[in-house]
Amino acid sequence: MKSEIQKPEKTEALATRLRRPRADDVDSKHLWQIAAARDLILLIFIAATLWLLYGLREIFMPLLIALVLAHVFNPVVTFLEEQWRWPRPLTAALLLAIFVFSFAGLLSWLGPLLLGQVTDLARRLPEYLRTLAAAYDIHPGNLLNQLERSLRQLQLDPQQILGQVFQTTGQAVGIVTTVFSTTSYLLLSAALILVYFFFFSWSFNRALQSMSKYLPENRKERIVEILSRMDKAIGQFFRGRLIIAIIMGVFLSIGWYFTAVPYWFFLGMLTGLLNIVPYLSVVSWPIVILLKYADTLTSGAAQTANFLSIALWPSAVYIGVQLLEGWLLTPWIQSGQTNLNAATVLVVVIIGGALGGIMGLLFAIPIAACIKIFLDEVILPRMRRWAAEH
């Protein structure tokens, strides 16, 4: 009887010793079996990968652009595959054909107008600056003569400026432009983007399913949910900003045409393209007014011109299109999927531009949106639980 009475106590003590972690258990574990070490290794790997991509950003630019385009058009490819049983390679090839023929048609239609306006602006820019300098008694010295010689050389050799740009953006791109010339590099990049887009679109969903196999089973559903939110935010941003940029470029071009802004098509489409990055298009607003004022002075119509025709009406067009974007286009097309307020967007854009240039401007907001989702779903709940327990 005595042994039977003491048996539960012995059983409980044995269970306590089994639950207690032993030093030799920790010592026998591999490094990747320790949660803290595994998380640290993962963070180091991600940081090293980002650093490598940043260092070779010019080389990976066609790959990254193609991946973004494949992500943007993946809902269309998936819909046709599921609803109409279209093979994914067929849909990807069809999208490529539509894009190539549409771009060629648009270029043959509006290309001469755009090229004419850009060429005329380059030809008359020194005259505009000289007229403004004379009107306000500014002595630029030899600056205008140097600018005029540079623009004249550019008209004789239009690839020179592009070659200089690509040679100074990175050593790798400089080698490519030196060997193959700027035109060859651009054509090669465009061809690579098309090829990468085809293969990415073909295997986009299959690649995602393959990656899901490496997720832990007990957390797979939660991880997929978080990644789905990030995927939705990224896709919504790029699709929305691209559509908004095109619409704004068209409206700005039409409005500036009727308000007699010189180079209205070039300035309108450029401003719309800049609007892919929020708040960046504001830099073209004073340029438009300054060019209209300089054109008015140069043409000798300054006596008949007034404040309304030079500044107010072009500004009214710009502000009106911005209000259309803020109150109608963005809520309707993007629906605020990034969940970032205006101040955060402005700070993120500035940081992205300082760190990554043009690519930093483009990807700053999607990356910030993903970081916010990760903080809201993973980090902040743990911090709240820790604060409640202590």
Q: Examine the fold and report which residue of 184, 214, 244 is the final residue of a domain before the chain moves on.
A: 214
Phi, psi angles (nearest 5°) of residue 328: -125, -55
Please check whether residues 156 and 235 belong to one and the same domain. no
Position 52 scores a pLDDT of: 77
Domain containing 313 equals 218-383
- Of 12-16, 157-161, 378-382, the least confident: 157-161
Residue 184: pLDDT over 80: no
- The pLDDT confidence band at residue 322, using thresholds 50, 70 and 90, is very high
Whether residue 229 is found in the same domain as residue 279: yes
Place of tokens 């771009």: 103
Q: Coil, strand or helix: which one is 343?
A: helix
Higher per-residue confidence, 367 vs 183? 367
* Residue 329 maps to a domain: yes
| Separation in Å, CA 81 to CA 47, 91, 202, 224 | 36, 8, 11, 22
65 and 207, same domain (yes or no): yes
CA-only gyration radius of the chain, Å: 29
Do residues 196 and 322 both lie within one domain? Answer: no
250 has pLDDT over 90: yes
Paired tokens of 90: 């067929």
From CA 283, how far away is CA 43, in angstroms rounded?
37
In a shared domain, residues 223 and 158: no
User: Do 200 and 324 sit in the same domain of this protein?
Assistant: no
State how many domains the chain has: 2
pLDDT interval class at 181 (50, 70, 90)? low
On whether the CB atoms of residues 365 and 347 are closer than 8 A, the answer is: no
Question: What interhelical angle do 57-83 and 35-55 show, nearest 10?
Answer: 110
| Residue 177 clears pLDDT 60, i.e. is over it | no
Per-residue model confidence as pLDDT tens digits over 187-203: 777 888 888 999 999 88
Lowest mean pLDDT among 28-32, 130-134, 135-139: 28-32
For 142-185, the DSSP string reads: THHHHHHHHHHHHHH-THHHHHHHHHHS-HHHHHHHHHHHHHHH
Q: Is residue 73 part of a domain?
A: yes
Q: Give pLDDT, residue 264.
A: 94
Q: What is the widest separation between alpha-carbon atoms in the chain?
A: 119
Any domain includes 210: yes
Residue bearing the bigger pLDDT, 36 or 349 = 349
Using alpha carbons, list the distances in angstroms from residue 114 to 118, 248, 278, 287: 6, 17, 24, 18
> What is the C-alpha separation between 302 and 308, in angstroms, rounded?
13
375 in the same domain as 272? yes
Residues 183 and 259 in one domain: no
Q: Can you tell me the mean pLDDT for 273-290?
A: 88
| 30: in domain | no
Which residue did the predictor score with more confidence, 223 or 21? 223
Q: Does one domain contain both 206 and 236?
A: no
SS3 (DSSP) at 111: helix
24 part of a folded domain: no
pLDDT band at 172; cut points 50, 70, 90: very low
Q: What is the pLDDT of residue 286?
A: 92
pLDDT beyond 80 at 305 = no
The predicted structure's pLDDT at residue 159:
47
Tell me, yes or no, whether 156 and 181 share the same domain.
yes
Q: Which of 199, 214, 229 is the last residue of a domain?
A: 214
More confident residue, 2 or 9: 9
Distance CA 256, CA 251 (A): 9
Q: Which residue has the higher pLDDT, 119 or 154?
A: 119
Dihedral over alpha carbons 368, 374, 377, 381 (to 10 degrees): -100
**Does 56 have pLDDT greater than 80?**
no
Residue 147 or 136, more confident: 136
C-alpha to C-alpha distance for 292 and 264, rounded to whole angstroms: 10
The residue-averaged pLDDT of 163-172 equals 45
By CB neighbour count within 10 A (0-12 exposed, 13-18 middle, 19+ buried), where does 286 fall?
exposed
pLDDT value of residue 341: 77
Which of residues 384 and 133 earns the better pLDDT score?
A: 384
| Structure-block tokens of residue 373 | 């989702």
Does position 327 have pLDDT exceeding 60, yes or no? yes
Regarding whether 262 and 165 lie in a shared domain, the answer is: no
Q: Is 277 a member of any domain?
A: yes
Alpha carbons 317 and 258: distance in angstroms, whole number? 10
The pair of structure tokens assigned to 97 is: 């054909």
Confidence (pLDDT) at 42: 73
Q: Does residue 343 fall inside a structural domain?
A: yes
Q: State whether 63 and 166 are in the same domain.
A: yes
Domain boundary among 214, 236, 267: 214
Quick one: pLDDT band at residue 359, thresholds 50, 70, 90?
confident
Average pLDDT score over the chain:
77
Quick one: average pLDDT of 375-380? 86
* Percent of the chain clearing pLDDT 90 (strictly above): 14
The mean-pLDDT minimum among 156-160, 190-194, 275-279 falls in 156-160
What confidence score (pLDDT) does residue 289 get?
92
Q: Are 278 and 349 in contact (CB under 8 A)?
A: yes
The answer to whether residue 79 sits within a structural domain is: yes
